[in-house]
Amino acid sequence: MIGRLRRARRPRPAPGPAWQPTVERLAWLVGSLALVLVPHLGRVPLWAILGFALLAGWRLLAAERGRGAPSRWMVGLVSAGLLAAVFLRFGTLLGRDAGVTMLVVLAGMKLLETRGSRDAYIALFLGYFLVVTNFLYSQSIVTGLYMLVVTLVMTATLVGIAAPPGTLAVRPRLRLAAVMLLQATPIAVLLFVLVPRLPGPLWGLPKDAFGATSGLDETMSPGNITQLSLSDEVAFRVTFEGGRRPPPSELYWRGPVLWTTDGRTWGPGAVDRSPRPPAIERNGAPVDYVVTLEPHQRRWLFALDLPATVPADALISDDLQVRSVRPVRERMLYRMRSYPDARDLRLGPLQRASALELPAGAHPRTRALALQWRTETADERALVERALAYFRDEPFFYTLQPPLLEGDTVDAFLFETRRGFCEYFSAAFAVLMRAAGIPTRVVTGYQGGEYNPLGDYLIVRSRDAHAWAEVWLEGEGWVRIDPTAAVSPSRIEMGVDAAIPQRLGRAALALEPSEPVQRMWRNLRHAWDAMSTSWNRWVLGYGPATQRLLLGRLGLDADDYLAVGAVLVGAIGSVMLTIALVGFRRRRPSDAARALYDRLCARLARDGLVRAPSEGPTDFARRVARDRPALAEPVAAATRAYVALRYGFGGDLATLEREVARAMRG
């Protein structure tokens, strides 16, 4: 009994040197973190990026010169200063922008104080978390592919942190990381498909996660729609059902309706909203379509004139403006029906008064012209045509670069500059009509769109933003009048590119639609947008409704959590079993490697160098080097070859056999 106790109390071999932050390990760590920060350039303050670069460079330089990490009091002092800078910049340490900036600072600080493997793992896990933060700003295919590459590099860095120095070259390290990601992919797909989806956009995120995007506003003044027309950002996509797609001249996508004006800026009026379809006179055949609306942080939805249905969780106003009950903060899909030939015959006394109101004393020259026309033209329809003829016959020009309007903007535009964009024409026309006694309102939205034949849908972009007018004519109701069409018919028939030569369109390139370069460019754009649309629909748009539909096709009830959970556990178990079986089939080289290494250990044991059961190969090699310096180099080389082959870091059996033989001869 005493002998057994004595054997149990035999002193353990002295441990080898601890994990060291070598230049190679730190370079991989810094490089992977730098890659994940590239998309954040311009999102976080420049001083935070420069601070990260300074701290990372400091740590690399210290490692190259053989120095350790700075003292903990210095690290704490610098950390406190940087966190205080984050708080002073944002007024908080919470939220999207402040939180991401703080993570950037923490990653740099963790690099600075990296001493052991635990510090390296924490810094790398901060990098994995920073990968996720990039999706708070963009969820595009490009972002997804780039983050996949970054994750591959980070996983390769993780492999390198665990591997002994010098045992793993760049290519084997990346190959092993790729294999690990491929093995994890089926499990990730199963979790994505089967785990219950939470409704709503990125549930629980702070308010600043929903950054402002370009789009229409509730007010209109000269210049704001012009700015939108410089952007190619997608506003929404439309898929028509039943094979009917209206011609471009009928593609008026109704948005905010403006009633009030102070002489320069137009704003909304007081209207009633209801979840019930409007009471319009439905003439002609309906158009059924599905709109995929990009998030714009506001409430309005867009519908083809004139809308006859109301989507779920939406309301429609008296002036036929469709609005969501909550801000559109995620991509939204809704189904609509419209009647392009319908008539709206509703105008109450309050609406009539609002549609005739003009600011006192404003637009004297415009009022005088309208009163002259009124005395000379008794018929309201003829008066409207006379106003359109005025825009058509006088030297008005459609341009994105109008001169500055001073003083009374409407008078200056109609009688002096005569150069502008759609909001200039619609606002001036509305003032003319109101001054002539015809109720008029301004409608903003989008006009036209680009048809994508590869996906069979219409793309409406920010540059398609448009404004037009609606006048009230007795016996006809509200009638759409687009004064821009009188000045530039090509804007309505062919889109904004055809109307503005300054833009990079067919006019600027001097290319016909049938020419190869133009056709190739258009096809590439359509292919990319079709791919992005599929990504948006099946990946980003995979919500509760889509999951319920997909699981239903698989014979599962999405609400039966026990059944779905059982399928999930069974599927993951099958994947892991398959991976294990494939791994067992590839164990022969590692078994042969183990046999060769055991021979080396037996040879060293005969010389008094016994490897303890708890002693790893690398630690054993370090002890051999300390106790028998003459054997240090051959045993270390044999150990590196064994670790590389045994644990899947690369290498080959012939190299291990050669190094073991050399170590045994030593």
Positions marked catalytic: 422, 466, 482
At 545, the amino acid letter reads A
71, 88, 133, 142: which is closest to 107 by C-alpha?
A: 133
Distance CA 649, CA 644 (A): 4
Dihedral angle, C-alpha 576, 579, 583, 586, nearest 10 °: 160
Distance CA 232, CA 310 (A): 28
Distance CA 215, CA 299 (A): 12
CA distances to 110, 447, 493 from 104, in Å = 10, 43, 50
By DSSP bridging, strand 314-317 and strand 322-324 are antiparallel
Distance CA 123, CA 121 (A): 5
Q: What is the largest CA-CA distance in the chain?
A: 126
**Cβ(371)–Cβ(438) under 8 Å?**
no
Dihedral sign for Cα 566, 568, 569, 575, please.
positive
What are the backbone dihedrals phi and psi of residue 282, each rounded to the nearest 5 degrees, phi first?
-85, 95
Distance CA 328, CA 294 (A): 8
**Cβ(107)–Cβ(55) under 8 Å?**
no
Give the number of other CB atoms < 10 A from CB of residue 651: 23
Distance CA 258, CA 269 (A): 6
Question: Which residue's entry shows tokens 């590692």?
Answer: 590
End-to-end CA distance of the chain: 40
The token pair at 598 is 């055991």
The three-class DSSP label of residue 338 is strand
What are the backbone dihedrals phi and psi of residue 607, each rounded to the nearest 5 degrees, phi first?
-95, 10
By DSSP bridging, strand 457-461 and strand 266-267 are unpaired
At 303, the amino acid letter reads A
463, 575, 635, 485: which is closest to 185 by C-alpha?
A: 575
**Residues in the chain, overall count:** 666
Distance CA 501, CA 511 (A): 12
* b (16+ CB within 10 A) / e for 273-291: eeeeebebebeeebbebeb
Dihedral sign for Cα 77, 83, 88, 93, please.
negative
What are the backbone dihedrals phi and psi of residue 413, each rounded to the nearest 5 degrees, phi first?
-70, -45
Helix (H) or strand (E) holding 253: strand 252-258
Distance CA 596, CA 130 (A): 43
The three-class DSSP label of residue 653 is helix
The Cβ-side half-sphere exposure at 584, using a 13 Å CA radius, reads: 6
Cα 352 → chain centroid = 44
The token pair at 237 is 């996509």
